[in-house]
Structure 1
């Protein structure tokens, strides 16, 4: 004879439901990653930018206000050495192109043409980077075009062309005066580098 088994009342099993409504796909993706991330989020402080990583150096340059011409050349040499140390066939020209792109210019030649009066290559990404990666005359189409930035860069190009022509003529006519001008320019760049490396209060 079969005896009946008494089963005590129990709570129904919990159903898996969404905690909140995802208004767009990004929230849904974040929620999915959070639910499946058993080890927890990595703190931002855990990643430290290092001098021996090529990508970290490019990131630091892209986050800066810009570089002096002298510092631009020194960092390009450093990037070339870093690339070759890690097995990459990186030339000095390639390193200069990487730096120019990190500052928002199409080429190192364009970056040099757009330098400021005090020999500083400004980072133009925060200003909208309205110039094309092909040429200055071809502005990027769309809402991000910044005509003020284009006008400013064209003015700098005209100024630098006149100044470079004057320096070339002076140096060919009087080598001592040309040498003095080059030394003064180099000293100005070094002074800017020293001021730029100081901690800002």
Structure 2
């Protein structure tokens, strides 16, 4: 039997990236870039579109937060996109989907956790979730203590007081209200509904 020995051949294409790596995630990205057959770049890989429901939901999840008016505006947008795709969606379900994108169980929970100026923070960015995570319980007193949960508890207490002032006036009906009470309700309605179509700020 004849055995032929060949000299080591040079590898035509490097399989690992020749860059300094400080984190494991950078090694993976460098490997993909070094073996990039189709010449894609991260920025060119996929562009989120505003006419696709899934893309819109992903974009909403990148928001730092939204006002109640912005959440309602985006919910109507989600509902329209669902209808364009042949699905019938109730508006309250669309509200809940937007709230889910910000880390809340439903719109009602996010409404209770809004700030004084009706702003709802994105809890996905904090690691504290009011749906499937640490804050899954509906009882605020059972939440783990942290800066975020303490702030949310304070907001819920404030919003409860605010509702206790506004709701009795609403229940009386327009004819039974004084002019001052009617003007008060109109100002509150304008306060919470303005700026719905304004763009929201996204995380870096």
Is 2:191 the counterpart of 1:188? yes
Contact 2:17/2:31 (<8 A) preserved: no
Superimposed CA distance per residue, residues 146-201 of structure 1 (whole angstroms, 9 cap, x where no aligned partner): 6121111111111111111211123326264454233212322455557x5499xx
Q: SS state of the match for residue 128, structure 2?
A: coil
- Normalised to the residue count of structure 1, the TM-score between the two structures is 0.70
Q: How many residues align?
A: 183
Distance 1:125 1:53, change over 3 A: same
Q: SS state of the match for residue 67, structure 1?
A: strand
Structure 2: unaligned runs, 5 residues or longer: 1-5
Is 2:177 the counterpart of 1:174? yes
Contact 1:167/1:178 (<8 A) preserved: no
Q: 1:14, 1:57 → 2: CA distance?
A: 51
Structure 1: unaligned runs, 5 residues or longer: 1-10, 140-144
Q: 1:25, 1:189 → 2: CA distance?
A: 45
Q: 1:74, 1:19 → 2: CA distance?
A: 47
Distance 1:46 1:71, change over 3 A: same
**Larger relative contact order (Cα-Cα within 8 Å, sequence gap ≥ 6):** 2
1:71: which partner in 2? 70
Is 2:122 the counterpart of 1:123? yes
Q: CA deviation at 1:25?
A: 7.6
| The structure with more radius of gyration | 1
- Normalised to the residue count of structure 2, the TM-score between the two structures is 0.69
Q: 2:156, 2:164 → 1: CA distance?
A: 12
Distance 1:83 1:175, change over 3 A: farther
Q: 1:120, 1:198 → 2: CA distance?
A: 11
RMSD between aligned alpha carbons? 3.6
Q: SS state of the match for residue 87, structure 1?
A: coil
Q: How does 1:29-44 map to 2 (within 5 A)?
A: 33-34=32-33, 37-44=36-43
Distance 1:136 1:149, change over 3 A: farther
Q: 1:146, 1:53 → 2: CA distance?
A: 39
Q: SS state of the match for residue 125, structure 1?
A: helix
Is 2:160 the counterpart of 1:161? yes
Is 2:45 the counterpart of 1:51? no
Distance 1:83 1:19, change over 3 A: closer
